[in-house]
A and B are shown apart, each in its own frame.
Chain A
Amino acid sequence: MLLLHWQQYKSDKLNFITCLTFKAGLFSMAEELLKLQNIYKNFGNVKVLKDVNIKINKGEVVALIGDNGAGKSTLIKVITGVHSPNSGKVFFKEKEVQIKSVAQSRKMGIEAVYQERALCDQQELYRNIFAGREITNSFGFLDIKKQRKEAEKILRDYIGFTSKAITVDSQVMGLSGGEKQGVAFGRSLYFNSDLIVLDEPTMGLSIQETEKVLNFVKGLKNENKSAIFIDHNIIHVYGAADRFIILDRGEVVGEFNKEDISREELVQKMIQLHESGKIKVED
């Protein structure tokens, strides 16, 4: 009996140890999804991004923070193919890539949910969801039936719209800000993208809607999807992200894992940056 206990204990301990090493292994070898290396971007004479290096792993939510004009939006537009960098390298799934268009970044598995919400007001939902990658036959004619059916699925299953007032034939015009954001999220989930880029996803939303959006961001991790997001509200950022990258005037000036920094410290850093233009990283 005792022996049995001992063996049980030993195997448990063994399990525990292997489990630990396995976890540690995973952690140190966290799979890299996106890497930007020495990215520069100018608009005319204005240097918007200066030697930016960032890395995003699979299943990780990274928040980009910084003041207005820090280059956050430009940085994510480089990632989504809206802008091309002037120099620097981009690696996606450990392969060097040149992202030249939105269509290309989408094909690779990068999906954007933009500040401007990237939906067209007067068009129906089912058309909006598939805009730019319509379901068509070989002559380019739309498969309206299938688009409507899939859109219905996205509305009910991915977004969880239960309201009868919103159907796939609704125009975007009649939707609230949160509902529009929901559609954009639903779209990114449906197309099974690996990296979701969120530009100010909570801007202009009510408190409940903000809650939904943040829950969505947290939910991404469970599906081993990654996200980069920009938000002005540190409280939102802190709650949803695993890692914080601070940009200032086009440069990365600080990078923190959530376990290494408390919310108050993060706020402190931002105030420090705001006041002195510098950030103390060593402590």
Chain B
Amino acid sequence: MSNLLNSYFVKTHKLEISITIIAVVLFLIYFLGAPHVFTRFPIYRAFMQSMPFFGIIAISATFVVTLGEIDLSFPSIVGITSLIFGIIMTSTDGNFFIAFILATSLGMFAGLVNGLLVTKIGIPSIVATIGTLFFWRGLVNVISQGSGIAIVDVADGTWHHMIFVEKLFGKIPMQFIWFIVLTGLMQWVYRYHKFGNHIHFVGDNKASAQMMGINVDNVKIIAFVQLGFFSALAGIFTMYEMLYFWPTQGEGLMLTTLAAVFVGGTSVFGGKGTIFGTFIGVLIIGSLESGIVALGLSGFYVKFINGLMITVAVTVYALIQRRKN
């Protein structure tokens, strides 16, 4: 046992192991407290259906948080790109390719704007992205004039609807499969690609990274751009699920998404993080609401327990970090 505890894997994956234990305990509580719900499949199908919408963004946001930066504008990027997707889908009679390319390009453009504001103009990311948060949402309101767009006629029953949100074997929502695949891919990039490596160095110590020949500005810009892309993608997933665009789309995503990243163990100070942790964070944050209600507590407890989880988790990680130093 002590051998196991001292092994290289355990030593280097303390964070991932702790977060997994927390998740297992949480699901055990659900399971024991509400067996009538948690021994049956539908609750898991509901989780698999809803988690990917913010989970995809959380995975992508882990890159930005590891940089020591933050992006608060993604809920509005989801809004504007979904709007454009809806408009193009309806006006081209369901031309998926054009709609997809334009919506994701707009997402990347929005990310580029964030990246340029942060690196070239020098505005702290928390301020810059509050600005763009309002800007893109404002643009959604101006363009949509407050009304929604139904894409049911052009999307329902198409092959793209099938690969995005229909059920594999009639049971597993496709968006969850995509979420798993993207998580794996992003984990690989995060740990084993040059870009992921540079993200860690820039987040750790910007000046040192620069002296080691890493182009700090470019790394930051690319991080914001990829978050813009994945925000657009999450918006498109939501559109297929709902078959409808509504002007506040994305607004509820901010806190759950960032909470998943932080609960997952990515350092608020930058330089360290884990995609796997964020994935587990998504499972935790995404299950809290249904879990709490299923346990018989009223819905009023949801935010309270959410807040408790986040505060405790972030405190614990900060303490681990301090002990290391």
Q: Which residues of A approach B to under 8 Å, CB–CB? A: 80, 82, 101-103, 106, 112, 114, 116-123, 127-128, 131-134, 136, 139-142, 144, 169, 173
Contact = CB atoms under 8 A, between A and B. Distances in A.
A82 B53 CA distance: 42
A169 B8 contact: yes
B200 A118 contact: no
A114 B211 contact: yes
A101 B194 contact: no
Contacts of A139: 193
A116 B211 contact: yes
A142 B192 CA distance: 5
Given A101-B213, A122-B272, A131-B213, 14 more contacts: A116-B211, A120-B204, A120-B208, A120-B209, A122-B200, A122-B204, A122-B271, A123-B271, A127-B197, A132-B212, A134-B197, A140-B195, A141-B193, A142-B192
Nearest to B196: A142
A127 B193 CA distance: 12
Q: Which 10 A-B pairs have the closest CB atoms?
A: A132-B213, A120-B204, A103-B213, A102-B213, A132-B212, A118-B211, A131-B212, A122-B271, A140-B194, A120-B205
A116 B207 CA distance: 9
> DSSP class of A's interface residues: helix, strand, loop or mixed?
loop
> DSSP class of B's interface residues: helix, strand, loop or mixed?
helix
A14 to B, nearest CB: 52
Interface residues of B, number: 26
Contacts of B3: none
Interface string B2-40: 000000100010000000000000000000000000000
Contact of A82 (B210, B214, B271, B272): B210
Contacts of B211: 80, 82, 102, 112, 114, 116, 118
A131 B205 contact: no
B324 interface: yes
A142 B194 contact: yes
Nearest to A112: B211
7 contacts: A102-B213, A103-B213, A106-B213, A116-B208, A116-B211, A140-B195, A142-B194
Contacts of B325: 173
Contact of B204 (A106, A114, A117, A121): A121
A118 B194 contact: no
Interface of B: 8, 12, 188, 192-195, 197-198, 200-201, 204-205, 207-215, 271-272, 324-325
A82 B210 CA distance: 8
A126 to B, nearest CB: 11
A128 to B, nearest CB: 8
A118 B208 contact: yes
Contacts of A131: 197-198, 201, 209, 212-214
B324 A173 contact: yes
Nearest to A130: B197
Contacts of B213: 101-103, 106, 131-133
A134 B194 contact: yes
A122 B199 CA distance: 12
Contact of B212 (A118, A136, A140): A118
Contacts of A133: 213
A102 B212 contact: yes
Nearest to A127: B197
